[in-house]
C-alpha cells in the first residue's frame, strides 16, 4: 500500500489553503431513486349520457359512490311521459298515481363497474341525448412524466411511493403499470408517461390532485458508505481514496478501493476500507475559490496561495515538521 505526503494536509485535519477534512466511513442504508411529478387521473374515464330526451325524476347515487355494472343510477321520464305526468298532477293525486303506474319511468343503468367521479345533474333537470349526466372512473392512477435520461431505470411492476400535495404526510405505495412508447416534449425536455397504480386506493384521493412519485431503482441495507467526492481515479481507471489517521505526523495513505452502489452523493465501498476509517476530502479556502472563479488554478506550481507562494507551508508555532 503506497504512502504519499501532500503539502498542507496537516495530517488529515481541517486546515487552511490546500487542507483536507476527514470524514468517517459509516455503515448505513442506501436507496437509489428517480423522482417525477404527475397528476391523479382515471385510468379509463366514461361519460354517461341519457338514451332518451326528457326529465330526471330520481338520482340514486352520489359523487364518490362505487357502482357495479347494471346497477340502476337514475330514473328518467321521456319528454312525452314528463308532459303527461304534469297534466295528470294538475287533475289530482289519484290521476297522477294512475298514470305513474301505467307509464313507467326509464331506468338508467351503469354501463360499467367503477366510481362516480363527477355528477353535475339534479332531479327535475331537463336533459337530451347530448347532456352529460355523470362521469365514471374505473380506477384512479398517477400519471407521471419521466425524463428520457431516467427512463432506462424504470421497469414494469417497479415499486414506487406516491405523495399527494394535499396529503404530504400520508404516502401511498404503488407499482408501475404502464410505460409509454410515445415521447412528449415538456419545456423542451423529452419525457415519457409512466402510470403508477396505488396498491390500495385511499378515500381521500381525488382526480386532478398533484402528486410526487419516487421510483425505487435499487437499495442496499447496512453497507459501508463514503462521500462520492472522496473517490478519485488513477490514469488507468483504478478507484482510490486518501485515508487519514495513520502514524503520528505521517501523511495520508493512498488506498485502492472497490466501489458499488451510488446515489451521486454517497458511494458504497465493497473492499479497501473498514467502518470508522477516515477518508480525506480536499478543503477549499475562500481565496482558492475566488481564484478558481477568476479562471486561475490555485494548485499550479509557483502560483501564490494564501501568501505562501509555491512553497510548502510551515508548521504553526515555529516548531519542526
- Would residue 314 count as lying in a domain? no
Mean pLDDT for the stretch of residues 284-312: 47
C-alpha grid cell for residue 243?
A: 485515508
Share of the chain above pLDDT 70, in %: 81
Shared-domain flag, residues 207 and 257? no
Domain containing residue 211:
33-43+139-220
C-alpha grid cell for residue 64?
A: 364518490
Backbone angles phi, psi at 260, to 5 degrees: -135, -120
Shared-domain flag, residues 148 and 39? yes
- Would residue 317 count as lying in a domain? no
The predicted structure's pLDDT at residue 5 = 33
pLDDT tier at 305, thresholds 50, 70, 90? very low
Shared-domain flag, residues 152 and 287? no
- Would residue 307 count as lying in a domain? no
C-alpha grid cell for residue 298?
A: 490555485
Strand 72-78 to 20-24 pairing = unpaired
In whole angstroms, how far apart are CA 6 and each of 57, 245, 299?
A: 89, 14, 12
The predicted structure's pLDDT at residue 200 = 92
Domain of 149, CATH number, reads 2.40.30.170
Name the domain boundary from 220, 247, 267.
220
Rounded CA-CA distance 301/315 in Å is: 20
Shared-domain flag, residues 232 and 288? yes
The residue to which cell 465501498 is assigned: 269
Rounded CA-CA distance 297/286 in Å is: 13
Shared-domain flag, residues 292 and 245? yes
- Would residue 194 count as lying in a domain? yes
Rounded CA-CA distance 140/103 in Å is: 40
Give yes or no for residue 105 having a pLDDT over 60.
yes
Shared-domain flag, residues 194 and 250? no
Give yes or no for residue 1 having a pLDDT over 60.
no
Shared-domain flag, residues 153 and 78? no
Domain of 56, CATH number, reads 2.40.50.100
- Would residue 54 count as lying in a domain? yes
Rounded CA-CA distance 2/143 in Å is: 54
Number of domains in the chain: 3
Rounded CA-CA distance 147/164 in Å is: 20
Q: Is the pTM of this model over 0.85?
A: no
Segment among 94-103, 189-198, 260-269, 285-294 with least mean pLDDT: 285-294
The predicted structure's pLDDT at residue 247 = 65
Give the model confidence (pLDDT) of 23-40 as tens digits: 999 998 888 889 999 999
Amino acid at each position: 500500500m503506497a504512502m504519499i505526503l501532500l503539502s498542507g494536509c496537516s495530517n488529515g485535519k481541517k486546515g487552511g489553503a490546500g487542507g483536507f477534512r476527514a470524514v468517517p466511513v459509516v455503515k448505513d442504508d442506501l436507496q437509489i431513486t428517480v423522482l417525477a411529478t404527475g397528476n391523479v387521473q382515471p385510468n379509463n374515464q366514461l361519460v354517461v349520457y341519457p338514451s332518451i330526451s326528457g326529465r330526471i325524476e330520481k338520482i340514486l347515487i352520489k359523487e364518490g359512490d362505487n357502482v357495479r355494472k347494471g346497477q340502476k343510477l337514475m330514473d328518467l321520464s321521456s319528454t312525452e311521459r314528463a308532459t303527461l305526468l304534469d297534466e295528470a298532477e294538475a287533475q289530482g293525486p289519484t290521476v297522477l298515481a294512475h298514470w305513474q303506474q301505467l307509464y313507467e319511468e326509464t331506468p338508467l343503468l351503469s354501463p360499467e363497474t367503477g366510481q362516480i367521479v363527477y355528477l353535475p345533474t339534479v332531479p327535475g333537470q331537463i336533459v337530451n341525448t347530448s347532456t352529460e349526466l355523470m362521469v365514471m372512473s374505473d380506477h384512479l392512477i398517477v400519471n407521471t412524466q419521466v425524463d428520457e435520461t431516467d427512463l432506462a431505470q424504470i421497469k414494469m411492476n417497479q415499486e414506487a411511493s406516491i405523495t399527494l400535495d394535499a396529503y404530504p404526510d400520508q404516502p401511498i405505495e404503488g407499482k408501475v403499470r404502464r410505460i409509454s412508447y410515445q415521447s412528449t416534449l415538456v419545456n423542451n425536455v423529452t419525457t415519457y408517461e409512466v402510470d403508477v397504480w396505488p396498491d390500495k386506493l385511499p378515500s381521500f384521493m381525488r382526480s386532478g390532485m398533484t402528486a410526487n412519485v419516487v421510483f425505487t431503482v435499487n437499495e442496499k441495507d447496512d453497507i459501508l458508505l463514503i462521500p462520492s467526492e472522496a473517490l478519485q481515479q488513477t490514469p488507468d481507471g483504478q478507484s482510490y481514496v486518501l485515508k487519514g489517521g495513520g502514524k503520528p505526523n505521517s501523511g495520508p495513505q493512498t488506498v485502492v478501493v472497490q466501489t458499488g452502489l451510488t446515489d451521486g452523493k454517497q458511494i458504497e465501498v465493497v473492499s479497501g476500507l473498514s467502518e470508522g476509517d477516515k477518508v480525506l476530502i480536499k478543503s477549499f479556502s475562500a481565496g482558492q475559490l475566488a481564484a478558481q472563479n477568476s479562471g486561475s488554478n490555485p494548485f499550479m506550481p509557483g502560483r501564490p496561495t494564501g501568501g505562501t507562494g509555491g512553497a510548502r507551508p510551515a508548521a504553526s508555532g515555529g516548531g519542526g515538521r
